[in-house]
Amino acid sequence: MNFKDALRSMSQLQAFTKAMLMSNIIMAVGLTCAIFAVSGQRERVVLVPPALDRRAEIAWKSADKEYLKSFGLYIATLVGNIQPKSSSLVLDSVSQFMDPKIYTDFRRQMLSIIEDPQFKSSGATISFQPNSLQWEGETSRVFVTGTLITASSGTQKYQKQVTYEVGLAIREGRPWVTHFLSYEGNIPRTVTWHLNQAQRDKKSVPDYANPQAVKRSVPDSNPSDMTDLSAMRTSIPPADGQGPTSGAPEASVPGAAPASDPHPEDIIEKKE
């Protein structure tokens, strides 16, 4: 046997073995990265619920505006309708969607309305009829404007225009309410509204009203500032039965049927 040829063949074999080893290592690393990438992905669910006239998409950390608008309307309608017999059930149903940061304060404010002695003794009910829906994508907020109606055991109803502001977030495929505000009037407190107020009052814009791109890593808003049900609290009839301090009286006809809940197609959606 030619010794030089044998050495040359051995060297070539060693080089080939090293090349195969490196290729196997590269393939193993690539396969590992692919496994981690696939395992970190979540399914995107496409829904066409009965209450929507178009499809809605929800993923692990996000959802499209149709889903968020529908969910914001759902929360505002639940909170805005307080009946003596179903108030506890509604409170428990809504509370499960509240962010842990506002959960305690939200329940405290809702219970202060439900357990109010004047509200109980008057036999009143509070109902909300939405008529306008607006989505602000840069802050992930839904504004639901409508009529808040207080009906006591008497023959009069009292109504006023209110706006419910619902901050939303998607975590682990589940919607969460990050803040919930109510205020009188039909003007949503958008980013533009807050900027104008900040310039006039020389105050900073609340963190929940800032666009997602400029939100602070450590919010400066107190949890108590992110929940406000004062628009509903002022609708409670006083003990003298004369109706709430705010809101115009609405004459009622004896025997007339109560106002029906609006259909989704009756709600005006404002353009963003």
* CA dist., res. 120 & res. 259, Å (int): 22
Q: By C-alpha distance, which of 90, 49, 87, 93 is closest to 69?
A: 49
- pLDDT at position 167 is 96
Does residue 140 sit within a domain? yes
- pLDDT at position 259 is 42
Does residue 7 sit within a domain? no
* CA dist., res. 123 & res. 87, Å (int): 13
Domain count, the chain: 1
Domain that holds residue 181: 61-269
Does residue 26 sit within a domain? no
Q: What is the pLDDT of residues 215-236, one digit of tens each?
A: 765 555 666 689 999 999 888 7
Does residue 53 sit within a domain? no
Does residue 194 sit within a domain? yes
Does residue 197 sit within a domain? yes
**Whole-prediction pTM:** 0.74
Does residue 246 sit within a domain? yes
- pLDDT at position 175 is 93
* CA dist., res. 198 & res. 180, Å (int): 20
Does residue 225 sit within a domain? yes
- pLDDT at position 83 is 84
- pLDDT at position 253 is 34
- pLDDT at position 249 is 46
Q: What is the CATH number of the domain that holds 223?
A: 3.10.450.230
Q: What is the mean pLDDT of each run of 10 residues along the chain (272 residues)?
A: 62 76 83 70 51 76 91 94 85 94 94 87 88 95 96 79 96 93 96 93 89 68 80 76 51 39 54 53
- pLDDT at position 40 is 59
